[in-house]
């Protein structure tokens, strides 16, 4: 008997109603669908259609007005704050449109960040972060701060940070929104290549049909409702010229791991201790722990608006 593919996310009759004075805004209006493990799912719709609201509900960042969201068999909106924070930390990764990197930290330190909360030891943490940065083609920018990198490079750091702890699900809201077309395609290829390598599930929001073509499944959204669900049969990566480059970088990464261990003592990364991190950029430990994800998101929304 063939194994059934796991339904990793189940959205059941989900609603989000915002009240503005006497007006009710049905941002998400009775939406139901499922996402399978390893699937690249895209929420596609015009501005104001409710994509970000739906993504934030799925990530447990916003509260539901109705319905249920089941992730890995758990009703995430029934969890208490603490358990939800742990759940996010264990299973979820995030990529933001405006990168949300720590400006005073290097690329390497930014990517190490999620591993600190997973209590990964310093040496292994550095190795994993460096490996991930090589994978996204930033081996020569490890000690650069965000202000010393291009937008595309910053977003590759953002991707390395989201994927470094190998979360089962990665949520991305317009991850290429600030990038030119060519860089956007490269970033999309990276997300797709890395997620397929590790059988990770991607839920990505976009208004751009060309980017949605990278997905296995497209949920078309209009006025808070699902218009249609499209399953993409072919794999767009097969004919993509940028894939070859990404593959080479991956191969180089694997070859370089031993060398990286030897180079470890030459790394100029200062010892990061958790107490000092809490003061950096006014971001509390809880921010990444999950408790204050709302704050990150609000910051993100503030920048977008």
53 binds Mg ion, rule: CB under 5 A: no
End-to-end C-alpha distance for the chain, whole angstroms: 51
Given ligand ATP, Mg ion, none, residue 20, with its beta carbon under 5 to 8 Å by kind, binds ligand ATP
Q: Which of 1, 20, 231, 262 binds ligand ATP (CB under 6 A)?
A: 20
- For the chain, where are the E strands, in sequence order? 7-20, 23-36, 40-44, 66-71, 74-75, 92-95, 169-173, 201-206, 217-222, 225-231
Residue 53 near ligand ATP by CB under 6 A: yes
47 interacts with ligand ATP by CB under 6 A: yes
Helix-, strand-, coil-residue percentages of the chain, each rounded to 5 = 45, 25, 30
CA distance linking residue 53 with residue 71, whole number of Å: 17
In total, the chain counts a number of residues equal to 305
- 114/175 with CB nearer Mg ion: 175
- The maximal CA–CA distance of the chain, rounded, in angstroms, is 65
DSSP structure class, residue 282: G
Give whichever of 39 and 173 is closer to Mg ion, judged by the CB atom.
Answer: 173
Whole-number minimum distance, CB 24 to ligand ATP, in Å?
10
Report the residue number, 98 or 189, with the smaller CB distance to Mg ion.
98
Regarding 48 and contact with ligand ATP (CB under 6 A), the answer is yes
- SS3 assignment for 171-185: EEECCCCCCCHHHHH
Query: Residue 154 CB, nearest distance to Mg ion (Å)?
Result: 20
Could you say whether residue 297 binds Mg ion (CB under 5 A)? no
Site for ligand ATP in 200-229 (CB under 6 A): 207
- What does DSSP assign to residue 166? -
User: Min. distance of Cβ 279 from Mg ion in angstroms?
Assistant: 31
Near Mg ion by CB under 5 A: residue from 49, 52, 97, 200:
52
- Residues near ligand ATP (CB under 6 A) are 18, 20, 25, 27, 45, 47-53, 207
* Site residues for Mg ion per CB under 5 A: 52
């Amino acid at each position: 008997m063939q194994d059934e593919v796991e339904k990793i996310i189940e959205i059941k009759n989900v609603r989000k109603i915002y009240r503005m004075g006497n007006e009710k805004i049905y941002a998400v209006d009775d939406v139901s669908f499922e996402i399978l493990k390893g699937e690249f799912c895209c929420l596609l719709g015009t501005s104001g259609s409710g994509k970000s609201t739906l993504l934030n509900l799925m990530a447990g960042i916003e509260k539901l007005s109705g319905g249920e969201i089941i992730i890995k068999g758990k009703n995430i909106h029934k969890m208490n704050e603490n358990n939800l924070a742990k759940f996010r930390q264990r299973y979820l990764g995030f990529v933001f449109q405006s990168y949300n990197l720590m400006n005073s930290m290097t690329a390497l330190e930014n990517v190490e960040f999620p591993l600190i909360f997973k209590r990964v030891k310093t040496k292994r943490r550095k190795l994993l972060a460096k490996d991930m940065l090589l994978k996204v083609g930033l081996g020569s920018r490890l000690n650069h701060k965000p202000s010393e990198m291009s937008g595309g490079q910053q977003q590759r750091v953002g991707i390395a940070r989201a994927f470094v702890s190998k979360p089962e699900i990665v949520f991305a809201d317009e991850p290429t929104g600030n990038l030119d077309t060519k860089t956007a395609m490269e970033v999309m290829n990276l997300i797709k290549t890395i997620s397929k390598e590790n059988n990770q599930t991607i839920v990505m929001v976009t208004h751009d049909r060309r980017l949605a073509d990278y997905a296995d499944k497209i949920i078309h959204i209009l006025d808070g409702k699902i218009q249609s669900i499209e399953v993409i049969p072919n794999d767009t990566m097969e004919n993509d010229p940028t894939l070859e480059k990404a593959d080479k970088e991956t191969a180089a990464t694997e070859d370089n791991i031993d060398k990286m261990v030897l180079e470890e003592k030459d790394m100029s990364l200062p010892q990061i201790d958790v107490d000092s991190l809490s003061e950096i950029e006014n971001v509390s430990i809880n921010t990444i722990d999950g408790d204050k994800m709302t704050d990150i998101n609000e910051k993100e929304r503030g920048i977008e608006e």
